[in-house]
Amino acid sequence: MRLTQLSEHLWSFKDSCNVYILKSGVQCLLIDTGSGAVLDHLDSIGVERVDWVLHTHHHRDQCWGTHIAKSMGTKIAVPEYERHLFDNVETYWQARRIYDNYNDSSTFFSLGENVAVDAILEDYGSFIWKDYKFRVMPAKGHTYGMVMLLAVIDGITIAFTGDLLVRGGKLYQLHAMEYGYGDLLGAEFTMQSILVLKNENVQNAYPSHGEPITDVNNDIESLEKRLDALAGLGRLFTSGRDHNFNDKTVLRESRLKAISPHLLWAGPYTFSNFYIVLSGSGHAMMIDYGLTSPGHLHCGSDSDGMQMLRFVEHHIGQLRDDYGVRDIELVVPTHVHDDHVCGVPFLQQTFGTKCWALDCVADVIGNPAAWASTPCCYHKPILVDRVLCDREKFQWRGFDFQIYFAPGQTEFHAMVLGHIDGKRIVFGGDNLFLFNPAAGAIDREIIVQSTVMRNSFQLDMHQRCATVLREMNPDLVCPGHGELISMSRSRLQEYSEYIKRKEAAFRDVVDEPADHFIDLFWARMLPYISTVRPASRVAFTVKIRNNLERTAVYSTRLLVAHGWASEGTAESITLRSGQLGEMTLWATAPSQADSRRRLVTAEILIDGVSQGPICEALVATAAN
């Protein structure tokens, strides 16, 4: 093992991985640590102190010596989507599924003991040290949370690429491409990541294993061909898209398609549809911006700690190169689900894009921790610049729009009517799909309404969507998933009849009042997740929806975790049938910090009869 000088201020050290040393005066920064043996060699190049270690990913060969650097006062920065595999890895090993396990992701190659983390490397963010600025770019593939670090060092633009690829345009390890049982999903992620790297036109890439990559774009093109060949074999499930779609282009993002001269979409092979309205003068407005592929969802029964959806930029290059878009001015999300909004923070950070949203959508995406009891909340809060009301009209660069409250697939949902190129276009989000129910003498695709009970489903939601759609009277529906839907009177009628049959079947399967037994969130507690200071007072809001067919008195009291203290007595409120109400309950946190989440519940009584601790919240205490 020895040090090799790569440029005036940059060295490498061969260990269980390549460790890179960036020197400034008598201090240095390391990219990964390997076994930590590099620490015994730094004095030979005049380094007296290791200031930071930046980790590209969590695998043990990259970081099994990090605790040694940490004991010497070195600070540690890790990828944001793998932090839990550094500072909470002991919990991971306790919870990791062993038997009946169909998750093959390479998180088994994690450390055994926690390492404290001083900073996270956020996707599309930057890390500044001395005179150097590292840009943090997603590098999904070898691991779910891996990053590559781009910087100008000694006048050359370089990238520290982790285990994304090795010299010659090959993968470091094929088995790392396996995420679920029998798939090679990492091939899609790797393709996405190397195409991003290709667009950066770096001069040298420094991988975690093997020799420096000096012909970066040629090596990327070689790997592209090899990944395409894998996908072309079929049945390897190299993509999160439909497994019956075996065309080699499955590894790549779809090409934007024109619906009309000023309206684009990403085509049927983009998982979460988004739409682009063009001004004709270099400006664009987006309806939603989320995921390209369901492979990014990781919604299996054992996610190995992949607790947060990770967005990776897509389609922006084609929008710029083929359509001359230089400014994405506005994004309007149809609803709150992460697969449709996870790209909004990227747009805001990159283009300064404004976000306008319906009021109930704005509440959730602006404060996801409070509403995290509802499914598919994106974990990063989204700044909403303009809150819109039901049926509010707005304009963008000469185009007229109107937004409607349309709870269907989720309670927090809008549909947007746009007048574009002489057509009435409805952006329907996750409400409407084409589907053949293969029942009731129907043997063709009809418009159906999707249902997820935990999305705060109530019986009248779908009827409201049908009413709204009839009022909009669209020529075309642009859905959140699947093909575009041409509309006609007969299709609208068929959709309305389907809604009636669905509501009747739901109502028939439970007792009356049906919504009392269908509506999961007739009682909800906010905020759902919070971290507070020791000994501080905390307010919880209990929201109630009276689904009974009579006026009733609702009461609630707080049931707190050990060490917490509830304040006051039970609160009560009288609600008419269908009326909404809320009550505020207070608690005091324990005097000692405790980073573990603690369960707090609220008992609900209806006319004095206890329904039990119906709703819950999670709370932790932290000194800072």
Residue 83 DSSP SS3: coil
The answer as to whether 462 is a domain residue is: yes
The proportion of the chain whose per-residue pLDDT surpasses 90, expressed as a percent, equals 80
497 lies in the same domain as 536: no
Write the DSSP symbol of residue 511: P
Per-residue pLDDT of 11-56, as tens digits, reads 999 999 999 999 999 999 999 999 999 999 999 999 999 999 999 9
Is 339 among the domain residues?
A: yes
Give residue for tokens 């549909």: 415
Rounded CA separation 578/154 (Å): 68
What order of strands is seen across the sheet that includes strand 565-567? 523-526, 537-545, 580-588, 565-567
With beta carbons less than 8 A apart as the criterion, state whether 162 and 171 touch.
no
- CATH code (residue 569): 2.60.40.10
| Mean pLDDT, residues 409-426 taken together | 97
Q: Please give the model's pTM, rounded to 2 decimal places.
A: 0.92
- What pLDDT, on the 0 to 100 scale, is given for residue 531? 93
Q: Give which of 213, 215, 209 is closest to 19, Cα–Cα.
A: 209
Tokens 């949203």, residue?
Answer: 357
For residues 419 and 537, membership in a common domain is answered with no
Q: Is residue 480 within 8 Å of 272, Cβ to Cβ?
A: yes
Out of 129-143, 300-314, 371-385, 408-422, pick the least confident: 300-314
Which letter does DSSP use for residue 391 in this model?
T
Q: Is residue 410 part of a domain?
A: yes
Q: What is the mean pLDDT of residues 486-513?
A: 92
424 and 540 housed in the same domain: no
Residues linked to residue 252 through DSSP beta bridges, in sequence order? none
pLDDT at residue 303 is higher than 60: no
Whether 238 is covered by a domain: the verdict is: no
SS3 content of the chain, % helix, strand, coil (to 5): 25, 35, 40
Residue 245 lies in a domain: no
Residues 478 and 559 placed together within one structural domain of the fold: no
Domain identity same for 198 and 272: no
Q: Is 237 exposed, middle or buried (0-12, 13-18, 19+ CB in 10 A)?
A: buried
Tokens of 449: 């309404």
Rg (CA), the chain: 27
Q: Minimal CA–CA distance to 180: which of 100, 284, 121, 101?
A: 101
CA distance 8 to 152: 12
Confidence (pLDDT) at 587: 94
Note down the domain range covering 17. 3-233
Q: Is the pLDDT of residue 305 over 70?
A: no
Whichever domain contains 413, its CATH number is 3.60.15.10
Residue 279 and residue 409 in one domain: yes
The whole-angstrom separation of Cα 384 and Cα 364 is: 10
Q: Which residues of 142-170 are buried (b: 16+ CB within 10 A; e: fewer)?
A: bbbbbbbbbbebeeeebbbbbbbbbbebe
Collapsed DSSP state (helix, strand, coil) of residue 66:
helix
What average pLDDT does the structure give for the chain?
92
Residues 427 and 555 in one domain: no
Q: What 3 state SS string does 413-476 have?
A: EEEEEEEECCEEEEEEECCEEEECCCCCCCCCCEEEECCCHHHCCCCHHHHHHHHHHHHHCCCE
Share of residues in the chain with pLDDT > 70 (%): 96
For residues 233 and 364, the model is more confident at 364
Strand partners, 258: 264
pLDDT band, residue 319 (cuts 50/70/90)? very high
Tell me which DSSP letter residue 58 carries: -
Q: What is the pLDDT of residue 309?
A: 87
Which SS3 state, helix, strand or coil, does residue 514 take?
A: helix
Tell me, yes or no, whether 222 and 146 share the same domain.
yes
Read off the DSSP letter of residue 85.
H
For residue 534, cis peptide bond before it (omega within 30 degrees of 0): no
Whether the predicted pLDDT of 356 surpasses 90: yes
Which pLDDT belongs to residue 103? 84
What are the two backbone dihedrals, phi and then psi, of residue 315, each rounded to the nearest 5 degrees?
Answer: 70, -5
pLDDT tier at 614 (50, 70, 90 boundaries)?
very high
Q: Which of 407, 413, 381, 411 is nearest to 529 (CA)?
A: 381
Q: Is 242 a member of any domain?
A: no
The kind and range of the H/E element at 191 are helix 186-200
Q: Angle at the Cα of 333 (from 327 to 337), degrees rounded to 5?
A: 130
Domain assignment present for residue 301? The answer is: yes
| Bridge partners, residue 4, by sequence | 12
Residue 319 and residue 360 in one domain: yes
Judge residue 415's burial from the number of C-beta atoms within 10 Å of its C-beta, 0-12 exposed, 13-18 middle, 19 or more buried. buried
pLDDT for res 440: 60
The predicted pLDDT at position 94 comes to: 87
Rounded CA separation 563/560 (Å) = 8
Sheet holding 594-606, edge to edge: 529-532, 609-621, 594-606, 552-559, 571-575
pLDDT digit string, tens, across residues 84-125: 999 999 988 988 888 888 888 899 999 999 999 999 999 999
User: Each residue of 97-135: b (16+ CB within 10 Å) or e?
Assistant: eeeeeebbbbbebbbeebbebeebbbbeeebebeeeebb
The reply to whether 535 and 500 lie within a common domain is: no
CA angle 194, 198, 204 (to 5 degrees): 100
Confidence of residue 306 (pLDDT cuts 50, 70, 90): low
Q: Is residue 252 part of a domain?
A: no
Instruction: Please say which residue of 485, 508, 531 terminates a domain.
Output: 508
> What is the total count of domains within the chain?
3
Q: In the block, which residue shows the tokens 């573990």?
A: 596
In angstroms, the CA 218 to CA 164 distance is 15
Q: Are residues 551 and 489 in the same domain?
A: no
76/208 same-domain check: yes
